């Protein structure tokens, strides 16, 4: 399975950008499309910007949570899932200074991040990529895919997550909405 992904923004790509919004902190430059490609070194000399990330092992979920997630989660590239969102997020130094048990407590026991996400499965397919360890401008890139009839549920998911205590540790967040090209 490919582990490394690059999101190349520019004039062309397999996903067309329909809206970009800086939720917190600096936004990203406008572009027409994003090309989602495997690897960390795409040949893209004309890119407006490129964001990179890697899929990795589970960082917070317990065995019961992993079992629940795997039972209901949907794969990417479903025929009907013509809409997508790319949400790059950077967390604060205070987040990264926390020990593992402190981050886990804030993530789940306090904010119910996994529990909230589970309510929107399998409608919203999700792939989390890690960027911070690559020295990238964001810490995480989350990619979501869903059918047009689930767009309102997806808005609801974002609204609920952004209202959690975990989001007090978000320094920068941009929301990019896309449609399959």
Catalytic residue IDs: 126
Burial label for 134, CB within 10 Å (0-12, 13-18, 19+), is: middle
Answer for which of 22, 75, 110, 133 binds a second copy (CB under 8 A) is 133
Q: What is the 3-state secondary structure (H, E, C) of 59-100?
A: CCCCHHHHHHHHHHCCCCCCCCCCEEEEEEEEECHHHHHCCH
For strand 83-91 and strand 170-180, is the pairing parallel, antiparallel, or unpaired? antiparallel
Q: Is 61 in the site for a second copy (CB under 8 A)?
A: yes
> N- to C-terminal Cα distance for the chain?
24
CA atoms within 13 A on the CB side of 122: 11
- Among the listed ranges 7-15, 79-87, 96-104, 118-126, the one in contact with a second copy (CB under 8 A) is 96-104
d(CA 150, CA 155): 9
Contacting residue, 80, 102, 149, 155, with a second copy by CB under 8 A: 102
Residue 174: exposed, middle, or buried by beta-carbon count in 10 A (0-12, 13-18, 19+)? buried
Task: Select the span of 10-18, 56-64, 81-89, 158-166 touching a second copy (CB under 8 A).
Answer: 56-64
Q: How far is the CB of 66 from a second copy (least distance, A)?
A: 5
Q: Which stretch binds a second copy (CB under 8 A): 16-24, 54-62, 79-87, 158-166?
A: 54-62
39 or 148, CB closer to a second copy?
Answer: 39
Told to check if 130 binds a second copy by CB under 8 A, we report yes
By beta-carbon proximity to a second copy, the closer residue of 66 and 181 is 66
Contacting residue, 19, 62, 168, 179, with a second copy by CB under 8 A: 62
By CB under 8 A, the residues from 5 to 34 that bind a second copy are none
Identified binder of a second copy from the candidate list 29, 30, 100, 109, rule CB under 8 A: 100
CA distance 16 to 33: 4
Summarize as ranges the residues that interact with a second copy (CB under 8 A).
3-4, 54, 56-63, 65-66, 96, 98-102, 104, 130, 132-135
């Amino acid at each position: 399975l490919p582990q490394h992904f690059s999101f190349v923004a520019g004039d062309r790509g397999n996903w067309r950008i329909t809206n970009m919004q800086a939720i917190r902190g600096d936004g990203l430059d406008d572009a027409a499309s994003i090309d989602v490609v495997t690897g960390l070194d795409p040949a893209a000399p004309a890119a407006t910007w490129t964001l990179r990330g890697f899929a990795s092992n589970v960082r917070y979920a317990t065995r019961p949570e992993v079992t629940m997630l795997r039972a209901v989660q949907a794969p990417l590239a479903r025929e009907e899932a013509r809409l997508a969102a790319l949400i790059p997020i950077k967390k604060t130094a205070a987040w990264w200074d926390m020990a593992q048990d402190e981050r886990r407590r804030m993530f789940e026991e306090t904010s119910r991040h996994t529990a909230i996400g589970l309510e929107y499965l399998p409608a919203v397919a999700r792939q989390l990529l890690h960027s911070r360890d690559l020295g990238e401008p964001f810490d995480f890139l989350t990619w979501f895919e869903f059918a047009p009839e689930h767009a309102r549920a997806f808005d609801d998911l974002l609204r609920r997550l952004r209202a959690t205590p975990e989001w007090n540790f978000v320094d920068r967040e941009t929301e990019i909405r896309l449609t399959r090209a």
